[in-house]
Amino acid sequence: MEALFFNVDSGFLEGIVRGYKAGLLTQNQYNNLTQCETIEDFRTQLSATDYGNFLSNEPPPISTSTIADKATQILVDQFNYLRSNAVEPLATFLDYITYAYMIDNVILLITGTLHERDTHELIERCHPLGVFDSMPALCVASNVEELYHTVLVETPLANFFRDSLSAAELDDLNIEIIRNTLYKAYFEDFHAFCQSIGGPTFDLMSRILAFEADRRSINITINSFGTELSKEQRARLFPTIGKLYPEGNNLLARADDVEQVKAACEGVADYRVFFDSSSSGPGGGSSRAPPNGSTAHLLGDLDDAIGVGAELEDRFFLHEVHLNKQVFLQQFQYAVFYSYLKLKEQEIRSLTWIAECIAQDARDRIHDFIPIF
């Protein structure tokens, strides 16, 4: 593993190589956090973990968004440290990890341009792992046409846009279609790159990317019910990788309701449990957690997220954690860097959930998070 890159701090490298048991919170630490009565108690408990005194300079009262942002920044700093010292092919592998965040950032800027928002303000809301050197160049675009051509020239996503989209498609009605089209191209390209590396890296990443592609196909299908998206358009958004491809994707493309989505997934044992009504999240309840960077009105939003879509998302998170934990059982591969990042992100979502429950005095829901262990 140490031959994969050079000049990396041995302590941090050891933590990555030893796997998810290094640097991630234990069940006892989660238990201590859930016993906190106030956010100040929460900060004190966190200071006794690997997070240290990362909140020491924050004046009270500390918001949950601040906790999420500061914890995320620690992870970003670790990732960027690795990335700046990596050699090929690890360097390109780490770049591919950042492309997903870049897609979300660029979509945010496109949406802001369509609504004539101040793009400089929007950049501050972008995920730090998806920030690239030429991003300020996107802010000078005065319309969508200019933005499209700037993206083609100035960003690492140029190939995804060039091969998948035209400037005429960048409108408000198509924004989610654009996002899913870019993710389709991204998953397929990342999968092909991992295949070129081969070995255990491809074995592990192919499983992870297959799940991510299938999760997106299922979500696209369910979210398209009752919309103007045609079945033909829906089918074009499905990645051409994954356990559902091609037969399951064909069934998803023709699905009219959740029962037909369930039938499409029936042939994949790992996915069958997603639709099992007897299953439940951690603590016997919901295991939902907020998306990265989103904590505002958290519990209220979750109360509105009723139905099969929300239940599926719970189980998707659980399965994602399971897949990423399995990566650390195999040596001499790059997938460990991807999985460490994803597990830390889940940890930050869980921390944010606990902190939000404390802040809103929602003690009955404080255990409804996904611990890594």
> Closest Cα partner for 216 from 256, 243, 193?
243
Q: What is the pLDDT of residue 172?
A: 60
What is the average pLDDT score of the chain? 83
pLDDT in tens, 96-117: 999 999 999 988 888 887 777 7
pLDDT in tens, 198-235: 999 999 999 999 999 999 999 999 999 998 899 999 99
84: its two tokens? 């700046």
Confidence of residue 6 (pLDDT cuts 50, 70, 90): very low
> Is 278's pLDDT higher than 70?
no
Q: What pLDDT does 266 receive?
A: 94
How many domains does one find in the chain? 1
Which of the four pLDDT bands, split at 50, 70 and 90, describes residue 268? very high
Compute the distance between CA of residue 180 and CA of residue 213 in angstroms, rounded to an integer.
10
- Residue 160: pLDDT band (50, 70, 90) is confident
Specify the residue for token string 């023709």.
254
Instruction: Let me know if residue 152 belongs to a domain.
Output: yes
Q: Residues of the chain with pLDDT > 90: what percent? A: 58
Average pLDDT (276-302) is 42
The mean per-residue pLDDT over the stretch 167-189 comes to: 83
In-domain check, residue 51? no
Indicate the pLDDT class of residue 303, thresholds 50, 70 and 90.
very low
Average of per-residue pLDDT across 235-240:
96
Q: What is the pLDDT of residue 168?
A: 67
Greater pLDDT, 155 or 225: 225
Question: Is 86 strand, coil or helix?
Answer: strand
Confidence at 21, pLDDT banded by 50, 70, 90? low
| 319 vs 339: CA distance, rounded Å | 13
Please give the pLDDT value at position 293.
Answer: 36
pLDDT over 70 at 304, yes or no: no
Q: What is the pLDDT of residue 286?
A: 43
First to last CA, the chain: 24
**Which tokens sit at 190?**
């990342």
- Where are the alpha helices (H) located in the chain, listed in sequence order? 10-18, 27-34, 39-47, 64-85, 90-114, 119-123, 135-138, 144-154, 158-164, 175-197, 199-224, 231-236, 247-254, 258-265, 269-272, 298-304, 308-326, 335-359
Question: What digits encode the pLDDT tens for the residues 47-76?
Answer: 999 999 999 889 989 999 999 999 999 999
Work out whether the CA dihedral 216, 218, 222, 224 comes out positive or negative: positive
**pLDDT of 167 over the 70 cut:** no
pLDDT at 279: 53
Within a domain: 96:
yes
| Percent of the chain residues topping a pLDDT of 70 | 81
pLDDT higher than threshold 60 for residue 162? yes
Identify the domain containing residue 135 by its residue range. 90-197
Least-confidence region, from 104-108, 154-158, 246-250, 301-305: 301-305
Q: Are 312 and 339 in contact (CB under 8 A)?
A: no
Q: Is residue 236 part of a domain?
A: no
Q: Which pLDDT belongs to residue 256?
A: 96
In a domain, 98, yes or no: yes
- Choose between 189 and 4: higher pLDDT: 189
User: What is the Cα–Cα distance from 71 to 293, expressed in whole angstroms?
Assistant: 11
The total of other beta-carbon atoms located within 10 Å of residue 114's CB is 16
Q: Is residue 106 assigned to a domain?
A: yes
In a domain, 288, yes or no: no
pLDDT attached to residue 16:
53
pLDDT per residue over 31-41, tens digit each? 999 999 999 99
Q: Which of 11-20, 56-65, 306-315 has the highest mean pLDDT?
A: 56-65
